[in-house]
Structure 1
Amino acid sequence: MVGENDRISSFINSLDPGNLPFLDELERAALEDQVPIIRKDTQALLKFLMAQNKPRNILEVGCAVGFSALLMAAYTDADTKITTIEKFEKRIPVARENFSKYDTEGKITLLEGDATDILKGLDPGYDFIFMDAAKGQYINFLPDCLRILNKGGLLVSDNVLQDGDVFESRFAVTRRNRTIHARMREYLYELKHNDQLNTVILTVGDGMTLSVKL
Structure 2
Amino acid sequence: MSQINHEYINNYLVGLIPQHEDILKELEGYAEQHNTPIVTPDVAGLLKVMVKSVQAKKILEVGTAIGYSSILMGLSAGEDFSITTIEKDEDNAALAVQNIKKVGMEQNIKVLTGDASEVLDHIEGTFDMIFVDAAKGQYMDFFQKSIGKLKVGGIFICDNVLFRGMVAERSLLIRRKITIVKRLKKFLHYISNIDSLQTTIIPMGDGVSISCKLKEVVFDD
The whole-number CA distance in structure 1 between the counterparts of 2:5 and 2:154 is 34
2:217 alignment counterpart? none
2:134 alignment counterpart? 133
2:55 alignment counterpart? 54
Shift of 1:159: 0.3
1:6 alignment counterpart? 7
1:74 alignment counterpart? 75
- 3-state DSSP class of the match of 1:12? helix
Query: How many pairs are equivalent?
Result: 212
1:97 alignment counterpart? 98
2:209 alignment counterpart? 209
The one-letter amino acid of 1:193's match is: N
The 1:122–1:104 alpha-carbon spacing in structure 2 relative to 1, beyond 3 Å, is: closer
Is 1:182 matched with 2:182? yes
- 3-state DSSP class of the match of 2:44? helix
2:160 alignment counterpart? 159
- 3-state DSSP class of the match of 1:166? coil
The whole-number CA distance in structure 2 between the counterparts of 1:32 and 1:4 is 24
The one-letter amino acid of 1:131's match is: V
Is 1:193 matched with 2:189? no
Q: TM-score, normalised by structure 1?
A: 0.94
The 1:193–1:106 alpha-carbon spacing in structure 2 relative to 1, beyond 3 Å, is: same
Contact 1:73 1:103 in 2 (8 A): no
The whole-number CA distance in structure 2 between the counterparts of 1:106 and 1:18 is 27
2:116 alignment counterpart? 115
Q: TM-score, normalised by structure 2?
A: 0.91
1:17 alignment counterpart? 18
Contact 2:4 2:205 in 1 (8 A): no
Query: What percent of counterpart residues are identical?
Result: 37
Which stretches of structure 1, 4 residues or more, deviate above 3 A after TM superposition?
none
The whole-number CA distance in structure 2 between the counterparts of 1:127 and 1:30 is 28
The 1:27–1:83 alpha-carbon spacing in structure 2 relative to 1, beyond 3 Å, is: same
Deviation per residue, 1:114-161 (Å, 9 max, x gap)? 100111112241110001001011011111221111000000000001
Aligned alpha-carbon RMSD (Å): 1.6
Contact 1:63 1:95 in 2 (8 A): yes
Shift of 1:73: 0.8
Q: Which blocks of at least 5 consecutive residues in structure 1 are unaligned?
A: none
Contact 2:38 2:69 in 1 (8 A): yes
Shift of 1:71: 0.5
Shift of 1:103: 3.3
The whole-number CA distance in structure 1 between the counterparts of 2:5 and 2:46 is 21
Deviation per residue, 1:40-88 (Å, 9 max, x gap)? 1001111111221110100000000100001111111211100000011
Shift of 1:195: 2.1
The whole-number CA distance in structure 2 between the counterparts of 1:38 and 1:14 is 16
The one-letter amino acid of 1:162's match is: F
The whole-number CA distance in structure 2 between the counterparts of 1:111 and 1:4 is 34
Contact 2:67 2:99 in 1 (8 A): yes
Shift of 1:172: 5.3
Q: Which blocks of at least 5 consecutive residues in structure 2 are unaligned?
A: 215-221
